[in-house]
Amino acid sequence: MALPDQIVFDVSPALSQNVVDALRDMIASGRVGEGEHLKESELAEALGVSRGPVREAFQQLANEGFIELRRHRGAFVTTLRRRDIEEVYSLRIALERLAMQRAASRITPEIAQRMDDVLTAMQNVAPTTTAAEAVALDLEFHDLVYEAADHDRLLRSWRFIRSQVAFFLQVRNRAHPDFVSVGYAEHRQIRDVLLTGDPDAAEAAIVDHVKGTLVRLLSDHDGDES
């Protein structure tokens, strides 16, 4: 396990969340691998905290799907299976279809401009852009679709699976760094369709986009147990 140099956090109510963010980044960036055992004592020392915040972080990350807590054995980084990907993405498609249907008739000029800003950033990514940075831009764009949809419960449902989607995409982007060629063009198409105001066309565009991502993810897990 590639532990970071010691990080010292301020003592604050946000301490546990800081630990969650640090561990999530270590997992998503590949510094700790799938199936790797996460040891409370080592992580607490590396992060400059007591074991309590690490234990709390384990519980949250288990809820998000990043790690598995095994009785009497401890915490282990999740090993992605086809079933995990298929479950999250079948739910994602359902959510995104509704979001796009609603956003097509509700998108505002202000949100459209923010989408254009994200698209400009996507178009101008540097060769040194990391998987995490690429995924952050990807999900920032989709966050705006949900904002445009103006549906609080839909947004909460998206936030529930968002971290798992980020995890899958970062694993995938590390293996296939084609964000420059794929990311901008596909998201520009989504933005253009939304601005036509056609909910059926918007729904079709997002289904194509998400299913394409799903196919690329599953291609890396051929032969995995379901």
Question: 57-105: per-residue pLDDT in tens?
Answer: 999 888 877 899 999 899 999 887 888 889 999 999 999 999 999 999 9
- For residues 195 and 123, state if they share a domain: yes
Concatenated DSSP letters of 39-78? PHHHHHHHHTS-HHHHHHHHHHHHHHTSEEEETTTEEEEP
Q: Among 29, 52, 77, where does a domain finish?
A: 77
Query: Minimal CA–CA distance to 162: which of 91, 77, 83, 75?
Result: 91
- What local confidence, expressed as pLDDT, does residue 8 receive? 47
The mean per-residue pLDDT over the stretch 202-209 comes to 96
Cα(103)–Cα(142) distance, rounded to whole angstroms?
A: 11
In the numeric block, the tokens 């990391």 are attached to 130
Query: Is there a domain that residue 54 lies in?
Result: yes
- Among the candidates 38, 53, 77, a domain finishes at 77
Tokens (6 digits) for 49: 């905290």
Q: Is residue 39 part of a domain?
A: yes
Backbone angles phi, psi at 76, to 5 degrees: -135, 140
Q: What CATH number is attached to the domain comprising 40?
A: 1.10.10.10
Question: What angle is formed at CA 63 by the lines to CA 203 and CA 175, rounded to 5 degrees?
Answer: 65
pLDDT for position 146: 98
Q: Which residue range(s) make up the domain with 31?
A: 15-77
Q: Does 30 reside within a domain?
A: yes
pTM of the model: 0.78
Q: What is the pLDDT of residue 10?
A: 45
Mean pLDDT of the residues in the chain: 86
Q: Is the dihedral of CA 36, 38, 42, 46 positive or negative?
A: positive
Give pLDDT, residue 5: 57
* 77 or 127, greater pLDDT: 77
- Is the confidence at residue 9, as pLDDT, over 50? no
Q: Are residues 185 and 118 in the same domain?
A: yes
